[in-house]
């Protein structure tokens, strides 16, 4: 599934969803949804009747139940992603194979009727460290392709019927404005010319570029992405090593040559990491810089920017201004 999403993401900016799919999947404890009022998920088209104990998250687009260590994560992709993802969800064996690559065991797949129309739900489990989590993943189609993941520890009091009832309550509305989507991100960032915001993705990140194109499948324009990590925690001393590993698994940067490693102040942290160097893409050799900073809870924000070697030096003042504007949302 991840590869399908990555290919789809190329039309919106080749690297954007690589950040998103590394961040994922935490969700839900419950009783009944019948007495709950519908809640709009900030920055998305999704509204639903949450299970008791769930509140809007400040860390991602969705809901969380801190005591139960459970959550509901909403990811919205371009409408063009739906045919490919729908084929994956419809075929149980294909879903099992693809999700197994993410250490997710899919047990079942079925159609459900929601307030937004017909949906397809996969159920299974995922081992995360020493713990195992039950997981429900539903795919819906509206103005966006919508994927909602519910996750909770297997030893919680979670009832599968309650989870399905909550997912059946989902309705899809109009797409929020860009300002609304930016305000819903778990961090704050300000674009500086010549960079402009193209869009946010998954409630976790923002894509910027410089140049006439919003859709740049060849990667010919400068690209800047800021993304927040929801899964796992990173100690400040591990940040550089984690950053190098992430860089090596990011499309277009698999063979990046790191020429400089710096400790910097970034996103409110004095122990941030800056990796810089060169990489080779479809449009030739590029310079890049990757910034990372850890928040108080051990989660991190990452900014990566790339541009042609001849262009990069002229962009450095704007890159620094954008990096300096980034802070975790309160």
Query: Which of 55-59, 201-205, 239-243 comes out lowest in average pLDDT?
Result: 201-205
pTM (2 d.p.): 0.72
Whether omega before 323 lies within 30 degrees of 0, making that bond cis, reads: no
Q: Which domains does the chain have, with CATH numbers?
A: 2-172 (3.40.1000.10), 178-328 (3.40.1000.10)
By the 8 A CB rule, do 146 and 171 touch? no
Predicted local distance difference test score (pLDDT) of residue 48? 96
Express each pLDDT in 75-100 by its tens digit. Answer: 888 888 899 889 889 989 999 998 98
d(CA 319, CA 26): 32
* Contacts of 266 by beta carbon, 8 Å cutoff, 6+ apart: 272, 273, 274, 291, 292, 293, 303, 323, 326
- Is the model's pLDDT at 6 over the cut of 60? no
Express each pLDDT in 296-317 by its tens digit. Answer: 777 899 999 999 999 999 999 9
| Segment holding 197, helix H or strand E | strand 196-201
pLDDT band at 231 (very low <50, low <70, confident <90, very high): low
% of the chain beyond a pLDDT of 90: 51
Q: Of 100, 202, 101, 195, nearest to 145 (Cα)?
A: 202
> For all residues of the chain together, what is the average pLDDT?
85
Predicted local distance difference test score (pLDDT) of residue 258? 96
User: What is the average per-residue pLDDT within 10-33?
Assistant: 40
């Amino acid at each position: 599934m991840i590869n399908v999403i990555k290919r789809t993401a190329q039309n919106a900016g080749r690297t954007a969803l690589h950040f998103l799919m590394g961040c994922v999947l935490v969700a839900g404890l419950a009783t009944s949804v019948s007495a709950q009022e519908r809640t709009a998920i900030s920055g998305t088209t999704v509204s639903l009747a949450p299970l008791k104990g769930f509140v809007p998250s400040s860390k991602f687009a969705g809901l969380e139940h801190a005591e139960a260590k459970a959550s509901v994560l909403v990811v919205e992709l371009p409408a063009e992603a739906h045919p490919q993802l729908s084929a994956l969800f419809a075929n149980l064996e294909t879903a099992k194979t693809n999700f197994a690559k993410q250490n997710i065991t899919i047990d079942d797949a079925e159609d459900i009727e929601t307030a937004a129309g017909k949906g397809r739900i996969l159920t299974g489990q995922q081992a995360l460290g020493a713990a195992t989590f039950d997981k429900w993943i539903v795919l819906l189609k509206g103005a966006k392709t919508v994927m909602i993941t519910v996750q909770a520890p297997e030893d919680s009091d979670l009832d599968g019927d309650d989870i399905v009832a909550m997912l059946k309550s989902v309705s899809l509305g109009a797409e929020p404005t860009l300002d609304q989507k930016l305000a819903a991100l778990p961090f704050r960032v300000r674009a500086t010319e010549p960079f402009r915001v193209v869009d946010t993705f998954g409630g976790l990140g923002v894509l910027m570029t410089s140049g006439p194109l919003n859709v740049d499948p060849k990667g010919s324009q400068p690209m800047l992405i800021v993304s927040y990590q929801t899964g796992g925690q990173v100690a400040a001393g591990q940040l550089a090593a984690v950053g190098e590993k992430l860089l090596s698994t990011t499309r277009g940067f698999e063979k990046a040559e790191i020429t400089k490693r710096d400790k910097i102040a970034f996103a409110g942290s004095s122990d941030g990491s800056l990796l810089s160097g060169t990489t080779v893409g479809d449009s030739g050799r590029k310079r890049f810089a990757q910034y990372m900073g850890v928040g108080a809870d051990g989660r991190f924000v990452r900014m990566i920017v790339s541009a042609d070697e001849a262009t990069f030096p002229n962009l450095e003042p704007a890159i620094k201004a954008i990096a300096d504007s980034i802070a975790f949302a309160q």
